[in-house]
Structure 1
Amino acid sequence: MLSLKLPRLLSINQVPKVFREQGILFGYRHPRSSATDCIFSAFQMTNETVNIWTHFLPSWYFLWKLFVLLCSWDVWNDPYTWPFLTYMVTCCSYPLASSLAHTFSTMSSQARHICYFFDYGSLSLYSLGSAIAYSAYIFPDEWIGSTFHHCYVFTAVLNAVLSTSLSCYSRFTEAERPRYTKAIRTLAFAYPYMFDSLPLFYRLYLCAIRGCADSVLSIHYRHTVFAFLTCFIFATHLPERLIPGLFDYIGHSHQLFHICGITGTHFQMEALLTDMTDRRDQLLASSPIPSFSQTVGPTVASFTISLLIIAAFSMTLYSMPKFSRREKKHAD
């Protein structure tokens, strides 16, 4: 009978510093795993297994939702749906990119950095997709057609570029200055979210002071709660920092971060879909129909710029031999 020998797992002291996670003591894969080993590790209990699946499976869920909408809407003749479909594409891409990054990040130290470069770029693209959908469906009546509304998506593109740049840069300071790195990386993703959510926060504020019976806002509240919970878990490394070693395989912060993030995205999607449907006549009467250049255009531009940023950081990475020396020192 054919038997499969799974790769040997290592402790935190057996891997280079760049591979170590705070509070995670065991379950590390070899830092020079082959691509085959990385794929097999998705079916082996390591400290990354749940990370892989908590984003791989949701990416197919969002892809299924996108497919259903494409089959049920007349997308070619209804430009009003384009912002939402653009947003849905980014919902599919960011968990898939994250899952692939977690899968193949132990092929080498350079591969780890590059995998997460793409992960960060996809998250930045998702923030832009959210902004495009928010611009089309979420804006409060008082802000529709305002100067802020006209500049909103363009600013979101700049934020996505800034987010990709800062988060990729943070990979270079991770080993020597972990707290600084965490602060930079948290800022890189928290700031675009806060900017994107300004129209939503204003709607929630108006509802709180005036009183309203808009049922969709309860879904927006759920998304907001999970978004802040996602940021809190990412920044604090709870619960594994309290009891190192207990949550190595199941229950550590990155897994909870994934689950909260995906749950928040689900509520965001449902809220956007509700606003898109319920406010259609009102929005079409008060603002022009979104054009191709206002939906797909910014996404393609941001995607292209992000690829250039990732290429630049990757070339810089390979021009710094200290990463290779660290890997060889710890991997044997």
Structure 2
Amino acid sequence: MTNRREFIKKAGIITASGAAAIVGAPAIAKTAKPIKWRLQTYAGPALAEHVIKPAIDAFNAAANGEMVIELYFADQLVPTGELFRAMQRGTIDAVQSDDDSIAAPVDISVFGGYFPFATRYSLDVPVLFNEYGLKEIWEEAYGEVEGVTWLSAGSWDPCHFATVEPITKLEDLKGKRIFTFPTAGRFLSRFGVVPVTLPWEDVEVAMQTGELDGIAWSGITEDYTVGWADVTNYFLTNNISGAWCGSFFANSDRWNELPEHLKTLFKLCMDSSHYYRQHWYWGGEAKLRTEGTKMELTSIPDDEWMKVEQEAYKFWDEIAETSERNARVVQIFKDYAAVMEKAGKPYRY
């Protein structure tokens, strides 16, 4: 009873006359020093405004001072190709990119970015991860790598060519110096494309100086958003992939240090980012094809483009031979494609 009286007095709820009074709840103490993360995205400033900044801004607001994520753009802290190692070392705390571009040391990294014809639409990516088992395979693969935790995958835009000269047949691809992703470039080289790797921010100037003939890095939404539509003249409607597959990653120690409520908040913000891109890209691709004024649309006939698709399936089988796990991923792609084809419209046309 004595201890209880002392507590009541200290809480300030005893009046001078000894009667109890209702007062406001005591303030909850906040951590004096917020947790700080540095996250680098693959995207430049204009693109990051859509593909990640809204989600990070929302996280910082909702974290209420407990945690702050500082967002950095493509190559701002370290080159994109060195992001994985920098994250392992703790130089940066988190990354948004595809596995392929950051040279993730896992066999399944080849499927990040644009794996040819693995997807037709943006919804294919979340379905493959959440309904067909890719999530568990990615967790398995990154569980074998020390220092980095894979968190979540989502879809971006399809992969189209934006070029200075028109492309209307496969022959036109020969000799074209194209900025693209590692695996996409490896595949496209079968048709005479010369893949070129440059820092993201140098692409526009390289187009103007003639170092590049084109870009196979995005759909038309990004071409307009980041300024590439200003330095290219033509947009090829055929694509080699219906959606880019990108992920969020974190330094394992930094991720494990977070309290559960901040982990949950970050997961919700990743989902918010994935959802934003679904509607922004889907709407933008159609609107700019029909209303855009900077690029002329061209197409390769379907029967000729079918050769590219058939070659992609050969490429799948080659990748499947590189590891047992990659074989499992390729089989999932095949099973998924068969279901979609059988389902018919609107899943496949």
- Structure showing greater radius of gyration is 2
Question: Does TM-score exceed 0.5, indicating one fold?
Answer: no
Higher strand proportion: 2
TM-score (norm 2): 0.31
What TM-score do you get using the length of structure 1 for normalisation?
Answer: 0.32
Name the one with the larger helix percent: 1
